């Protein structure tokens, strides 16, 4: 029976992620966000093209659509952590390849932030700071690598103090008696989906800096 709950949870995560709040809110303001600015249906483009407050609203909603399916998976269906992480990954995939936008979408940054908020609440502020640091410095590859290193080292040291698992019930950790292993596997799943969704962006960054 739990297998069905896992499949339903993943499908629910994907459908939640597929809701494009950027498109909905920008259309309410008479703008097709896919035809202005960068054309990306995400919070940043709404922020620049429609208005700051609307961009912030989209960012919050895109974050929540990463958090909410995971809460349902963990607290309602009582699924193990890896299944909860798969649900969060499905939400990210839905944002990036929305069924409502003919399998197109945004870059999944805010939704990824929501997933991080559920899994690693104490690292959420650090993740946000590192993201804006990378953007401000022109997305240099060395800065990106450094940001990842800082994030994972912080993850390790916070785990050592027991801070990472304080909001997650012990019943979710079924793969190992060491919770950090399941958290690490969950992060690998999430980053794999995020990288697949941003292949074109990664190529753009590599091309940009290889020519300098």
pLDDT, tens digit (0-9, with 9 covering 90-100), for 16-31: 999 999 999 999 999 9
Share of the chain above pLDDT 90, in %: 35
Share of the chain above pLDDT 70, in %: 82
pTM, two decimals, is 0.83
How sure is the predictor about 135, in pLDDT bands with cuts at 50, 70 and 90? confident
pLDDT value for 1: 52
pLDDT value for 118: 87
Structure tokens at 21: 């709040």
Rg (CA), the chain: 17
Those residues whose C-beta lies under 8 Å from the C-beta of residue 3, and which sit 6 or more positions away, are none
What is the tally of helices (H) and strands (E) in the chain?
Answer: 10, 0
Q: Is pLDDT of 207 > 80?
A: no
CA nearest neighbour of 58 among 25, 18, 14? 25
Range with top average pLDDT, 18-27, 136-145, 203-212: 18-27
How sure is the predictor about 210, in pLDDT bands with cuts at 50, 70 and 90? low
How sure is the predictor about 155, in pLDDT bands with cuts at 50, 70 and 90? confident
Cβ–Cβ under 8 Å, residues 39 and 59: no
């Amino acid at each position: 029976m739990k297998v069905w709950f896992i499949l339903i949870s993943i499908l629910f995560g994907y459908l939640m992620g597929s809701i494009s709040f950027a498109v909905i809110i920008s259309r309410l303001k008479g703008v097709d966000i896919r035809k202005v600015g960068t054309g990306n249906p995400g919070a940043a483009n709404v922020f620049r093209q429609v208005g700051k407050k609307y961009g912030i609203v989209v960012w919050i909603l895109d974050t929540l659509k990463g958090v909410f399916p995971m809460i349902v998976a963990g607290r309602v269906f009582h699924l193990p952590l890896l299944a909860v992480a798969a649900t969060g990954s499905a939400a990210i995939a839905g944002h990036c390849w929305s069924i409502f936008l003919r399998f197109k979408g945004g870059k999944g940054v805010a939704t990824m932030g929501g997933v991080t908020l559920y899994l690693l609440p104490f690292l959420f502020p650090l993740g946000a700071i590192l993201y804006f640091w990378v953007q401000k410095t022109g997305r240099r590859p060395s800065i990106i690598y450094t940001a990842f290193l800082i994030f994972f080292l912080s993850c390790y040291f916070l785990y050592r103090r027991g801070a990472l698992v304080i909001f997650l019930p012990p019943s979710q950790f079924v793969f190992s008696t060491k919770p950090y292993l399941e958290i690490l596997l969950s992060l690998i799943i999430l980053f794999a989906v995020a990288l697949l969704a941003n292949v074109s962006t990664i190529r753009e960054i590599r091309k940009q800096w290889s020519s300098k």
